Amino acid sequence: MPQAVQFDNYGDIHVLEVREVPRPVPAAGEVLVRVRAAGISPGESVIRAGVLHDRWPATFPSGQGSDLAGVVEEIGSEVLDWSVGDEVIGWVDTRASHAELVAVPAANLVARDPAVSWEVGGSLFVAGTTAHANVRAVDAGLGDTVVVAGAAGGVGSLTVQLLRRAGATVIGLASEPHHEWLQDHGVIPVTYGDGVADRIRAVAPEGIDAFVDTFGNGYVDLAIDLGVAKDRINTIIDFAGAARTGVKSEGMDGSANAAVLAELVKLAAAGDLEVPIAASYPLTEVREAYRELMRRHTRGKIVLEP
């Protein structure tokens, strides 16, 4: 029987178990994918803790994960675009990708380019489409100066690159060990912490046009203090701060589709978008993977490899 990550009640990483589960059976419009890599994300931790129960309630036993890359093992009766053996990148909306086998809607898949590693492909959908949506949410383009909080994280590292491709000058808030990577990608690194507002003003004396918050911890208020218009501030994590201040809290909606994913795969294959892989873990070490993620100091994505 295939293995999958599941949990029976809300809690910390200790509720996670790797269990044998019945082999999924693809519906008529689905394919069965043998997962080679599946990214993990902070949102999964928040959902697992029950903090977002009102927004995204879990049904127990609950699985985990959206991102995936793998090989088609079986196709549903109505699937015409995929064949057994195809290498694919995609996602599920059923929180089930942290598993050896997953039934995936055929429309949620794009072809894996051989130049895109399994780890990168399995980490691309959530972070990549959220980064794509961030650029759109703050309407960033040529001539804009944009600050990104959490600039070296899973979403932040892709957001800064897409902002640069849009023509913006990008200031990335990150700890010093990540500064060289940011500089190598055309980003102006600034250390977070006490005095960050003054450090931002020092590197952007003409002001800040937009602000993307991928970290929380008061950055919404910092953006307002820097004089950024509320409709050009987007947070993907501080929903309470957004409700209090009236700034945007747009996630991946509008970008979470196969067309955008295919565009991201193309950029990654051409070497025009780097998806940093901080670490890879076997499925059986899912707790350790999330323990590392919760430290919030990794560059890029952490990946499970069933």
Residue 4 pLDDT: 98
By the 10 Å C-beta count (0-12 exposed, 13-18 middle, 19+ buried), 85 is classed as: exposed
Question: Which residues have CB under 8 Å from 244's CB, separation 6+?
Answer: none
How many helices and strands in the chain, by DSSP H and E? 10, 14
pTM: 0.95
The per-residue pLDDT string of the chain (306 residues; one tens digit each, 9 = 90 and over) reads: 999 999 999 999 999 999 999 999 999 999 999 999 999 998 888 889 998 788 778 889 999 999 999 999 999 999 999 999 999 999 999 999 999 999 999 999 999 999 999 999 999 999 999 999 999 999 999 999 999 999 999 999 999 999 999 999 999 999 999 999 999 999 999 999 999 999 999 999 999 999 999 999 899 999 999 999 999 999 999 999 999 999 999 988 889 999 999 999 999 999 999 999 999 999 999 999 999 998 877 888 999 999
